Chains A and B, each alone.
Chain A
Amino acid sequence: MLLNPIDLLAAASLPVAEVAGTPRIDLHAVDYGILGAYILVVIGIGFALKRYMKSSSDFFLSGRSIPAWVTGLAFLSANLGAQEVIGMAASGAKYGIMTSHFYWVGAIPAMIFLAVFMMPFYYGSKARSVPEYLKMRFDEKTRGLNSISFAVMTVASSGVSMHALSAMIELLFKAYFKPVHFLGMELGIYDISMVITSAVVLAYVLKGGLTSAIYTEVLQFFLIVLGFAPLVILGLHNLGGWDGMMAKLPEKFGNSWKYMGTTDNPMGVEWFGMIFGLGFVLSFGYWCTDFLVVQRAMAAKSMGDARRTPIIAAVPKMLFPLIVIVPGMIALALTKTPGSGYAIPLSSNPVEAAKGALDYNLVIPSLIAHYLPTGLLGLALTALMASFMSGMAGNVTAFNTVWTYDIYQSYIAKDKTDAHYMWMGRVATVVGILISIAFAYVARKSDNIMDLLQLVFGFVNAPLFATFLLGMFWKRATGHGAFYGLLCGTLAAATFHGLTYPAIAAPGEVLELVGMKGAWIANKHGFTSGMAQNFWLAIVAWSTCFFVTIGVSLATRRTKTDAELTGLVYSLTEKIRQEDEPFWKRPAVLGCVVLAVAVILNIYFR
């Protein structure tokens, strides 16, 4: 079995001395104690919050009572799931400093835009969810489309993330655990970690609702920072500081902008596709419309706090590359240093491994195993588990709200008591987690099904921001316009994917086309990388949705009067009076400061 990363290193026929020093993850009582303490505290928080859960609004919206520093850190953490920590470290090892574009271009501007321009409509409209805003602004069918696709997407991506965690735990600890037999089933470490993490999340979300999820997300934020910082400190110390690390890395890894004039850079993306595709369409589409993050801001105790939520989140977000991207760069630099005793593990696919392909997703766990002694090891693993668990809690709280308010209350059971909807929310929490587990096992069985699902979600998500932008800033946009705009945007995305391929054939070479990557209609255009293809797909989907929405809106009659749209559209909403807030607390002022720092970071690492 070539599953353990240490065995993989041995199989890679590296010099024996390199492999002999490779540490194993070996847990002791103190490590288990740290993990146990964390689990006790999060469940304790759930129980402590139970007495505050009196109405469905407390359960789903935290009764709109939480201070901005808490919602802000939760806003950041809800997105800081496994994919982020593991994936960004992997990208750091693959692309170097260019990965920072996902932060300083692909997140900060959208977060500030949400705070300054969009939060007043979300929070001020008293909508309980993002789909409900669409219902108030447009019509029932637009809400239906958005709520159903969001609900499916959320439980599926929660399942993918649970699979990722359990697969990683299996990889790291399989050697130490024997399968347990229970009711005639053979349960491996994969199943056991799945059951334990789900049970913990279920316990605290059932007790404390959204507030539990938000509080544990804040806890997780500090755990990630304080659990992974020792990796960065030791790694940089080991390599002789920042300059020592950069000296070991390929030349193009040290600049974020210098090589973006063409696609000849590690990401294979040129500046226009990156700024417009990632920085505008994908980033604004995610940060400004995804209920998972927006829900955190909606739980804030006042309009001012709701608007400051994304700005407070933006500050640590800007600095996060240090914790999540630098470890990837450290890992690659160590791999390229003879005698360092560390190398990024080889791919677990024997065919790929024979070609020398590395499993970049193992950067973080293998660095943890390499540097951290018993004690800190427990802390870092707890941080990793915490990020998966709170990611799951984030998904499930967004799911139960959209399910209960936007699907169940709207289409299935309209006029029930508040207690009934709260009961439904609890049921949806349990069912949501069960469906996620089912998706996790599907992902384990077949990568293809999950890849296909994620591909389809990409098509659905890409055009979304055009709908919100027109909805919030153009009162003439109609329900028909929004609905058909979204449909056409999704179709355009699918068609674009069917006509393009993320590779360009060299002269005389015949590309082996794989359907999931594109070109399932015809190969009309090749991109230098999958990322470039993805960014351009987003641009096409967004533009299609934007222009179709405008066209259909102009051709159809308005169904909502100006009075009905008050508080939902920019030109019909009274400006928020900020005189009662000190100058330095105003969202626009804070937003400009954060944006200025982001620009400086971009210039410094250009």
Chain B
Amino acid sequence: MNFDLRLPIGLLFSVFGLVLTGYGLATKGDTALYEKSLGINMNLWWGLVLLVFGLGMLAFAKFGKKA
């Protein structure tokens, strides 16, 4: 099958990563919002994790062995 699943996975998680990182940056210093997550800006940090994962998948799809 010529449809590489790594593309939609990479795409979806890159979008999630961008959205969460962006939202995390926009809400930086909002102590009320991050009171739940123990004062850590989890949107920013976890957004970066998702972004790295998503971009990694896309890189795999482009440069990796064809599935």
Instruction: Mark A residues whose CB is within 8 Å of B.
Output: 23, 30, 33-34, 37-38, 41, 44-45, 48-49, 52, 62-63, 65-67, 69-70, 211, 215, 218-219, 222, 226, 230, 234, 237-238, 370-376, 379
Contacts and interface: CB of A to CB of B under 8 A. Distances in A.
A379 B37 contact: no
Given A63-B1, A67-B67, A373-B43, A379 B16 contact: yes
A66 B3 CA distance: 10
What 7 A-B pairs are tightest by C-beta distance, nearest first? Answer: A375-B43, A65-B1, A375-B23, A67-B67, A41-B12, A373-B33, A30-B23
Given A38-B12, A67-B67, A373-B34, A52 B24 contact: no
B36 A23 contact: yes
Interface string B44-63: 00110110010000000000
11 contacts: A37-B16, A41-B8, A44-B8, A45-B8, A48-B3, A67-B67, A371-B38, A372-B37, A373-B37, A375-B23, A379-B20
Contact of A376 (B3, B8, B11, B42): B42
B38 to A, nearest CB: 6
Contacts of A379: 16, 20, 46, 50
Given A67-B67, A218-B5, A373 B38 contact: no
Interface residues of B, number: 29
B50 A66 contact: no
Contacts of B46: 230, 376, 379
A37 B54 CA distance: 14
Given A34-B16, A37-B15, A63-B1, A234 B37 contact: yes
Nearest to B1: A65
Pick the most buried of A37, A226, A238: most chain B CB atoms within 10 A of its CB. Answer: A226
A63 B37 CA distance: 46
A383 B19 CA distance: 16
Contacts of A34: 16, 19
Contacts of A372: 36-37, 42
B57 to A, nearest CB: 9
Contacts of A44: 8
Contacts of B20: 375-376, 379
Interface in B1-31: 1, 3, 5, 8-9, 11-13, 15-16, 19-20, 23-24, 27
Nearest to A63: B1
Given A373-B33, A375-B24, A66 B1 contact: yes
Nearest to B47: A375
A49 B43 contact: no
B19 A226 contact: no
B33 to A, nearest CB: 5
B11 A238 contact: no
Contacts of A376: 20, 37, 42-43, 46
Given A30-B19, A219-B9, A374-B43, 13 more contacts: A23-B36, A37-B19, A44-B8, A48-B3, A65-B1, A66-B1, A222-B13, A226-B53, A371-B36, A372-B42, A373-B42, A373-B43, A379-B50
B67 A41 contact: no
Contact of B11 (A41, A218, A230): A41
A592 to B, nearest CB: 26
A372 B24 CA distance: 13
